[in-house]
């Protein structure tokens, strides 16, 4: 007499689903501090429209691109308190108590003539100054980004990569003979930044990997922006690839959930990006890119996946293969008399969202399995994960459709350990644990 045991983690509906969105809101202003000042009265027209769109979509986690940085996070606080969390035209307010902003390379002056126009412009406020900044911006913090979340952030574990130098990326696409050796010693890869923000929910964590690579235009024959865009996108691909992440001080290992989000300024088949740059993520083995969000309004076969008014798919929400299952999603682009059609015109981008079902990860949900065999029964125990539920099933031969529930077996959970006592089988039998979010 013997029994065999193996572990299976299978989602059981209804499961927890979260909505994650990215939106290039085009809220960048002309002078430093203007965004926070404009948001102060709670009447800033472009922000009112953005807020109403967010209240229609009701995301749980939101990335805003082109949202100017200020060191105190004042603009993000006002955006939440005076716009998102205040009903717009009768919509349901959305409160994001957990927010994150950080310094952006945009508008930080390099001290060099990075655009090679023969002038080092160190006076903020104009395009030539932006051309000599570490990332284009007429003042420090322009075109930055902000995260708004309904779930807590693990602030101690946040990683940012704004200081990674472009030259330190192995096999980089730095244009030959365009930058001096001295310039390459200070020239950073991120035009804004790359953030890994761990977000906590249901006793587990997912990594929100956000960025906004430079557009692959506004340059010359050297294609410096197109090359930089490619390598900025590559940073996340390297971060997810063991052995390619050394220049980042290590990456995100397997067994971690993640969601890549942001305006990547790259379309998989059209536009000016170098070597189909976004396919570094779309084709990555750890990224689930099987679901392509489509526009909600009137479309054609050519434009149904576009996220921008300039006719390209450039905004993405890309979940990991592990830990999520895509339930739905869209590019919010109402047209004609559809609800919200008059709101989205404040930006040349449209918000993109995915509804993601959270699925337990095997190493998190079940560990330290122990089996103690007695004469007439055996005791099965394992360490459990907070918020995860469990049940047992059995089968005689592992064939499809042969698994039956052991609902009569009580699973006792105490002090982080589950225990179940099962009768010893009279023949070879297989058992499995089902872990799920209720």
- Tokens 């807590």 -> residue: 152
Residues 163-184: tens digit of each pLDDT:
999 999 999 999 999 999 999 9
**Claim to verify: residue 419 and residue 295 sit in the same structural domain:** no
Q: Which of 310, 329, 359 is the last residue of a domain?
A: 359
Residue 187 lies in a domain: yes
- Tokens 């981008």 -> residue: 349
Residue 8 lies in a domain: no
Q: Which of 294, 327, 359 is the last residue of a domain?
A: 359
Q: Which of 359, 383, 410 is the last residue of a domain?
A: 359
Residue 114 lies in a domain: no
Residue 356 to residues 21, 270, 320, 326, Cα–Cα distance (Å): 11, 28, 10, 5
Burial track 269-278 (b if 16+ CB lie within 10 A, e otherwise): eebbbbebbb
Residue 209 lies in a domain: yes
Residue 284: CB atoms within 10 Å: 18
Check pLDDT > 60 for residue 2.
Answer: no
**Claim to verify: residue 310 and residue 429 sit in the same structural domain:** no
- Percentage of the chain beyond pLDDT 90 is 84
Residues 277-305: tens digit of each pLDDT:
999 999 999 999 999 999 999 999 999 99
User: Which pLDDT does position 15 carry in this prediction?
Assistant: 60
**Claim to verify: residue 186 and residue 200 sit in the same structural domain:** yes
**Claim to verify: residue 312 and residue 398 sit in the same structural domain:** no
**Claim to verify: residue 272 and residue 373 sit in the same structural domain:** no
CA–CA gap between residue 270 and residue 225 (Å, rounded) = 16
Residue 62 lies in a domain: yes
Tokens of 279: 């396919």
**Claim to verify: residue 243 and residue 380 sit in the same structural domain:** no
**Claim to verify: residue 327 and residue 413 sit in the same structural domain:** no
Q: Is 39 helix (H, G, I), strand (E, B) or coil?
A: helix
Residue 281 lies in a domain: yes
Q: Is 156 helix (H, G, I), strand (E, B) or coil?
A: helix
Q: Which of 52-56, 260-264, 313-317, 394-398 has the lowest mean pLDDT?
A: 394-398
**Claim to verify: residue 161 and residue 275 sit in the same structural domain:** yes
Q: Residue 394: which CATH number?
A: 2.60.40.10
CA–CA gap between residue 329 and residue 226 (Å, rounded) = 29
Q: Cβ distance 423 to 376 under 8 Å?
A: yes
CA-nearest of 352, 197, 216 to 272 is 216
**Claim to verify: residue 395 and residue 264 sit in the same structural domain:** no
Check pLDDT > 70 for residue 58.
Answer: yes
Residue 282 lies in a domain: yes
Residue 297, domain extent: 17-106+141-359
Residue 135 lies in a domain: no
Q: Based on DSSP, count helices (H) and strands (E) in the chain, helices before strands.
A: 8, 19
Structural domain total, the chain: 2
Tokens of 136: 């284009």
Q: In which band, very low, low, confident or very high, does the pLDDT at 4 lie, cut at 50, 70 and 90?
A: low
Residues 74-131: tens digit of each pLDDT:
999 999 999 999 999 999 999 999 999 999 999 999 999 999 999 999 999 999 999 9
Claim: this prediction has a pTM higher than 0.85: yes
Phi and psi angles of residue 37, each rounded to the nearest 5 degrees, phi first? -65, -40
Contact residues for 66 (Cβ-Cβ < 8 A; gap 6+): 24, 25, 26, 27, 28, 143, 144, 145, 212, 263, 347
**Claim to verify: residue 415 and residue 285 sit in the same structural domain:** no
Residue 38: CB atoms within 10 Å: 18
Residues 327-343: tens digit of each pLDDT:
999 999 999 999 999 99
Contact residues for 279 (Cβ-Cβ < 8 A; gap 6+): 268
Q: Residue 202: which CATH number?
A: 3.60.10.10
Tokens of 147: 């995260």
**Claim to verify: residue 27 and residue 174 sit in the same structural domain:** yes
Contact residues for 49 (Cβ-Cβ < 8 A; gap 6+): 343, 344, 345, 346
CA 152, chain centre distance (Å): 15
**Claim to verify: residue 287 and residue 428 sit in the same structural domain:** no
Q: Which of 4-18, 216-230, 369-383, 418-432 has the lowest mean pLDDT?
A: 4-18
Check pLDDT > 90 for residue 438.
Answer: no
Tokens of 87: 């009903």
């Amino acid at each position: 007499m013997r029994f065999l045991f193996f572990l299976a983690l299978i989602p059981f509906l209804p499961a927890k689903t979260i909505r994650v969105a990215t939106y290039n809101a085009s809220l960048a202003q002309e002078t430093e501090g203007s965004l926070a000042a404009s948001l102060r009265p709670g009447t800033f027209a472009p922000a009112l429209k953005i807020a109403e769109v967010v209240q229609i979509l009701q995301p749980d986690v939101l990335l805003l691109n082109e949202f100017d940085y200020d060191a105190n996070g004042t603009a993000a606080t006002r955006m939440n308190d005076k716009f998102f969390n205040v009903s717009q035209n009768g919509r349901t307010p959305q409160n994001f108590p957990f927010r994150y902003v950080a310094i952006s390379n945009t508008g930080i002056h390099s001290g060099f003539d990075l655009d090679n126009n023969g002038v080092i412009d160190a006076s903020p406020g104009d395009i030539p100054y932006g051309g000599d900044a570490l990332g284009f911006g007429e003042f420090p913090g322009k075109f930055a980004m902000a995260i708004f979340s309904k779930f807590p952030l693990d602030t101690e574990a946040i990683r940012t990569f704004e200081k990674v130098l472009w030259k330190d990326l192995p096999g980089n696409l730095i244009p030959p003979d365009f930058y001096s050796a001295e310039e390459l010693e200070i020239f950073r890869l991120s035009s804004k930044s790359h953030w890994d923000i761990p977000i906590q929910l249901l006793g587990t964590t997912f990594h929100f990997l956000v960025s906004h690579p430079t557009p692959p235009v506004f340059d010359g024959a050297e294609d410096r922006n197109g090359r930089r865009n490619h390598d900025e996108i590559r940073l996340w691909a390297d971060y997810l690839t063991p052995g390619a992440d050394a220049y980042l001080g290590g990456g995100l290992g397997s067994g971690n959930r993640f969601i890549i989000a942001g305006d990547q300024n790259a379309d998989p088949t059209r536009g000016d990006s170098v070597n189909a740059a976004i396919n570094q993520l779309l084709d990555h083995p750890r990224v689930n890119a099987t679901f392509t969000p489509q526009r909600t309004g009137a479309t054609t076969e050519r434009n149904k996946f576009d996220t921008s008014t300039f006719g390209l798919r450039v905004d993405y929400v890309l979940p990991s293969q592990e830990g999520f299952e895509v339930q739905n999603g869209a590019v919010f682009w109402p047209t004609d008399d559809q609800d919200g059609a008059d709101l989205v015109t404040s930006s040349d981008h449209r918000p993109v969202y995915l509804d993601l079902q959270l699925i337990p990860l095997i190493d998190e949900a079940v560990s330290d399995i122990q089996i103690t065999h007695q004469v007439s029964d055996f005791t099965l125990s394992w360490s459990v994960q907070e918020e995860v539920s469990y049940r047992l099933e059995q089968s005689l031969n592992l064939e499809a459709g042969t698994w039956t529930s052991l609902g009569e077996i009580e699973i006792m959970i105490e002090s982080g350990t589950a225990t179940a006592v099962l009768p010893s089988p009279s023949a070879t039998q297989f058992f499995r644990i089902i872990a799920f979010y209720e």
